[in-house]
Amino acid sequence: MSVSATNWPTSPLAAADAAFTALTGEPTPLTLNLDTCGVPSAAASGVMTMPALRDWLLRHPQEYALRDGVWRELVNRARLDGPAWVIAAVGMAMPALRRYAGQLCAGYDGDPDDIDAEILTGFLTALRDRVDLTQDAPYAALCRAAWRAGRRLRLQTGEYTSIADVDHLPDPRTPKVPYGHPDVLVRRAVGLGILDPEDEQPYIDVRLGRRPIEPIAAGLGITVDALRMRLGRIDTRIADALHRGLLTGIASPHAAATLAAQAEHRAATRAGRATTDRSQPLSESHAEPRSRHGGEQGSRQVSCNWPDGPRVVADLP
């Protein structure tokens, strides 16, 4: 289906559906290889176009493992591979999004397109930032976010009352000073050496901004697991500092000196690992040889701890 600039749908959901149809139509339809979704012995396999895959999933609602695998792949591609996969994810969820819009627009006195826009915005926000791919049912999490966004607007109908003279309101209208605001605490943690400067923005993005961890890890050049472990260690240090009152009060000179020394040690360790990683790749000379029980004669295993990464074990002849 082709849509010209003069007859493009005004409804956000209809426009997204038209874009999905154009993207997945002939002659070069967008496809997904189900064998890359990490679901062994799935009921379906091979390469399928997006509309065919959507129809198959609708006809097989009990295929939970494959649906989760497909949606993990879609979310990951939408976050890392560009707008085409964002449109693909929206189009794959379109039956549910349209059903929500129909339910929420019943009895609504406002513009139905506003409900559509909120549903789509809630879905896209969860797609980009909110859904954790390590949890089960990512598709359900996306749909819940879309429903809640549309319902929030629906509930706001009649919630606000016009005030003729706001100056005569009895309640205080002074904004609250953000004492103890998380961003302020993170900045203080950096100043005290609890959080390393190069980790400040990734920590804010993941822990406070709830951004997806995959593109942040890719930008840092480390694995997702390595970044998770790094953030976990930061969580521990910040929790300890909060318990000791270092982030909410005045740190003693001794405590400040101890934290600074620990920060210098972490920086030196990280710099040394980076230098070793660049100059000396994994080799037998940097491994820890050990015999492999029950293996061939003369064979052995070597292992290496990559910087900020998991332990790697490999067989050598």
Q: What's the number of domains the chain is made of? A: 3
Q: What rounded mean pLDDT belongs to the chain?
A: 81
pLDDT for the residue numbered 12: 93
Instruction: Output the DSSP codes for 259-290.
Output: HHHHHHHHHHHHHHHHHHHHHS-S-GGGS--E
The pLDDT value recorded for residue 185 is 83
Name the residue with higher pLDDT: 181 or 47: 47
My answer on whether 108 and 187 are in the same domain is no
Of residues 167 and 105, which shows the higher confidence score?
105
Task: Provide the token pair at 299.
Answer: 């064979």
Q: How far is CA 27 from CA 20, 24, 30, 52, in A?
A: 14, 9, 10, 15
> Is residue 139 in a domain?
yes
Q: Does residue 247 lie in a domain region?
A: yes
My answer on whether 89 and 214 are in the same domain is no
- Choose among 204, 106, 104, 96: nearest CA to 141: 96
Q: Are residues 241 and 295 in the same domain?
A: no
| 166, part of any domain | no
The pLDDT of residue 310: 46
Which pLDDT does position 174 carry in this prediction?
52
| Same domain, yes or no: 291 and 268 | no
Residue 202 and residue 312 in one domain: no
Quote the domain boundaries for residue 57. 12-155
> What average pLDDT does range 81-104 have in this prediction?
94
Predicted model pTM:
0.57
57 and 28 within one domain:
yes
Q: Are residues 226 and 121 in the same domain?
A: no
The pLDDT, as a whole number, for residue 247 is 81
Confidence band, pLDDT 50/70/90 cuts, at residue 279: low
Residue 172, in any domain of the structure? no
Mean pLDDT value across residues 4-16: 80
pLDDT in tens, 117-156: 999 999 999 999 889 888 999 999 999 999 999 999 988 8
Q: Are residues 28 and 146 in the same domain?
A: yes
Question: Mind listing the pLDDT tens digit for each residue in 239-278?
Answer: 998 888 888 778 888 888 899 899 898 888 888 776 766 6
